[in-house]
Amino acid sequence: KNEVEQSPQNLTAQEGEFITINCSYSVGISALHWLQQHPGGGIVSLFMLSSGKKKHGRLIATINIQEKHSSLHITASHPRDSAVYICAVRHGGAQKLVFGQGTRLTINP
Amino acid sequence: GAGVSQSPSNKVTEKGKDVELRCDPISGHTALYWYRQRLGQGLEFLIYFQGNSAPDKSGLPSDRFSAERTGESVSTLTIQRTQQEDSAVYLCASSRYSGTPYNEQFFGPGTRLTVL
């Protein structure tokens, strides 16, 4: 079992739908990151959070430390949101990230 | 300002040859990371630099892999005697070191290594 588990692995939806991607981890963390990997391979950091909720445009990230779970939501999804979304965690003072396997999201027009 | 750059963007080599991959981090970023992504798999941590020293090299898969960083800037990842299982995209990231876990990492475009 991976330390960081994402679900679903693949998600296809229609434009406009509300999207939820889940991330669960097994060991206590100091921070959780959500990353976006574009079809061309480039990776962009979306959020870093250690508690509560953050919002940026149509993206919302939440984390529940007690349940060791985070969700990434996309409202009013658009085909340009199609990408792989990756959850990654940091433990204690360590700098390295431990990654989930990613969720491939496809938004059809 | 310029982002993280990596070179070459693609490298094809024969099994047994040595390769060097280069990363130029964002200016002023003291932390630098190397990751690997094999085809169809998730990202794996390889090594982390703070300045020119590497306090965490726990992800290097074998002693054929080494990395160095000079001038708190450019880093080189060297793979000796390459094997086919080394084929992957090698990604570099950099961040300001703030002494907390909350520093954002900025990723380079990666080097796609193919070992024939």
Spatial separation of the C-alpha atoms in residues A46 and A37, rounded to whole Å: 10
| pLDDT > 90? residue B40 | no
The answer to whether B5 faces chain A, any CB pair under 8 Å, is no
Q: How many residues does chain B have?
A: 116
Q: Do A98 and B107 touch (CB under 8 A)?
A: no
| pLDDT > 70? residue B49 | yes
- Model confidence at A15, pLDDT cuts 50, 70, 90, reads very high
User: How much is the pLDDT for B80?
Assistant: 98
Ranking A20-34, B2-16, B92-106 by mean pLDDT, the lowest is B92-106
Helices (runs of H) and strands (runs of E) counted in chain B: 0, 11
| pLDDT > 90? residue A92 | no
pLDDT tens per residue across span B14-24:
999 999 999 99
Q: Do B42 and A101 touch (CB under 8 A)?
A: yes
> To which residue do tokens 């669960």 refer?
A24
Which string of DSSP letters, residue by residue, matches chain A? --SEEEE-SEEEEETT--EEEEEEESS--SEEEEEEE-TTS-EEEEEEESSEEEEETTEEEEEETTTTEEEEEESS--GGG-EEEEEEEE-TT----EE---EEEEEE-
The answer to whether B45 faces chain A, any CB pair under 8 Å, is yes
Spatial separation of the C-alpha atoms in residues B101 and A104, rounded to whole Å: 26
| pLDDT > 80? residue B26 | yes
Give A90's contacts in chain B (Cβ within 8 Å): 101
User: How much is the pLDDT for B98?
Assistant: 58
Name the residue among B56, B102, B104 with its Cβ closest to that of A96.
B56
- Burial-class residue B2 by CB neighbours within 10 Å (0-12, 13-18, 19+): exposed
Ranking A51-55, A95-99, B61-65, B76-80 by mean pLDDT, the lowest is A95-99
Radius of gyration from C-alpha coordinates of chain A: 13
| pLDDT > 70? residue B102 | no
User: Taking CA atoms, what residue in A is nearest to B59?
Assistant: A96
User: How much is the pLDDT for A95?
Assistant: 79
In angstroms, what separates the C-alpha of B83 from chain A's closest C-alpha?
A: 23
- Span B92-106, mean pLDDT? 79
- Span B86-106, mean pLDDT? 84
Give A30's contacts in chain B (Cβ within 8 Å): 101
Name all contacts of A50-57 with Cβ < 8 Å and 24+ positions apart. A50/B101, A50/B102
- Span A23-42, mean pLDDT? 89
Report the mean per-residue pLDDT for chain A.
Answer: 92
User: How much is the pLDDT for B1?
Assistant: 54
Decide if A36 contacts A43 (C-beta within 8 A).
yes
- Span B34-52, mean pLDDT? 92
Name the residue among A31, A94, A99 with its Cβ closest to that of B56.
A94
With vertex at residue B112, the alpha carbon angle to CA B32 and CA B97, rounded to the nearest 5 degrees, is 10
- Model confidence at B100, pLDDT cuts 50, 70, 90, reads low
| pLDDT > 80? residue B10 | yes
The answer to whether B57 faces chain A, any CB pair under 8 Å, is no
Q: Do A96 and B31 touch (CB under 8 A)?
A: no
Sequence-separated (6 or more) residues with CB below 8 Å from residue A17:
A77, A107
User: Taking CA atoms, what residue in B is nearest to A84?
Assistant: B42
Q: Which residues are bridge partners to A62 per DSSP?
A: A53, A71
User: How much is the pLDDT for A40?
Assistant: 76
- Burial-class residue B62 by CB neighbours within 10 Å (0-12, 13-18, 19+): exposed
